Amino acid sequence: MRNVAIVGAGMTPFAEHFALGIRDLLPMAFSECAASVDKGLDLSDLQAAWFGSMGTTDGFPSGILADTLGLRDIPVTRVENSCATGHDAIRNAMFGIASGAYDVALVVGADKLRETASKGMLWEWEAMSRDMAWDYPLGLAQAGFALHVRRYLHESPATREHMAMVAVKNHHNAMSNPKACRRFELTVEEVLAADAVVTPFGVYDCAPQSDGAAAVVLVAEDMVDRFTDRPVWIRGSGVGSIRLCTSTSAT
């Protein structure tokens, strides 16, 4: 297995892009990604592409990526794995390069959630990502996560205050990222006092819906020098699963 490095990265701002569609966001992310490659990147350098996307009302995701960026005669694979979609897209491209099948690969992730049609699709998809026999009839989306977290808080030393610290940390980090969706500081007290969504989640515990895209270029170790003298090496990657059905899941 060969070592794999990231040689370029780019992203759009994550926001309510009502005037932009997937076909607009994809080239924005790729353009910034290509421009970040120190020694330059041509489309002809790309040998394969992976597209992480929950879903889009614009049509066939892999075809949209290929058409929008002008990717001709290379495989473009769409990856969907719930909340792990972006990571799993990179993981699959990494394995493609590490195995020797490809030397250079593009990975793009994008979703358009603030559009009326896809906004409705999100909630339908979230419900169907559960067990259809037991969880779906109960409407368990956020509520499904809440059941797991309530059990975790019951069985572990973790507290609601610890959860609030996660939101505080995320908002603090967003202040140094001009492309982040919610750029304002929070205190633990403000998080705990926020309106409830479903116990134990308040507003600031839940991810906001937003539109955006991001892209990275992965390269095999023996090709890195062609693109940069400052690679970011991928040292590890892992994905794990738990039981799908909330009624049978262990903490």
**Residue 57: predicted pLDDT:** 64
> How far is the CA of 220 from the CAs of 90, 97, 98, in angstroms?
13, 6, 7
Among 37-51, 132-146, 229-243, the minimum mean pLDDT is found in 132-146
Say if residues 18 and 46 touch (Cβ distance below 8 Å).
no
Q: Considering only the top CATH level, what class is 4-115+210-242?
A: alpha beta
Residue 125 pLDDT > 50: yes
Higher-pLDDT residue of 21, 121: 21
Can you tell me the distance from the alpha carbon of 44 to that of 73, in angstroms, rounded to the nearest whole number? Answer: 10
Q: Are strands 48-52 and 76-79 parallel, antiparallel or unpaired?
A: parallel
Residue 176 pLDDT > 60: yes
Residue 129 pLDDT > 90: no
The one-letter amino acid code at 215 reads A
Among 19-23, 145-149, 162-166, 244-248, the minimum mean pLDDT is found in 244-248
The one-letter amino acid code at 125 reads W
Q: Which whole number is the average pLDDT over 138-148?
A: 70
Q: Are strands 201-202 and 196-198 parallel, antiparallel or unpaired?
A: antiparallel
**How would you class 196 by CB atoms within 10 Å of its CB: exposed for 0-12, middle for 13-18, buried for 19 or more?**
exposed
Residues spanned by CATH 3.40.47.10 within the chain? 4-115+210-242
**Residue 136: predicted pLDDT:** 62
Can you tell me the distance from the alpha carbon of 75 to that of 64, in angstroms, rounded to the nearest whole number? Answer: 13
Residue 10 pLDDT > 50: yes
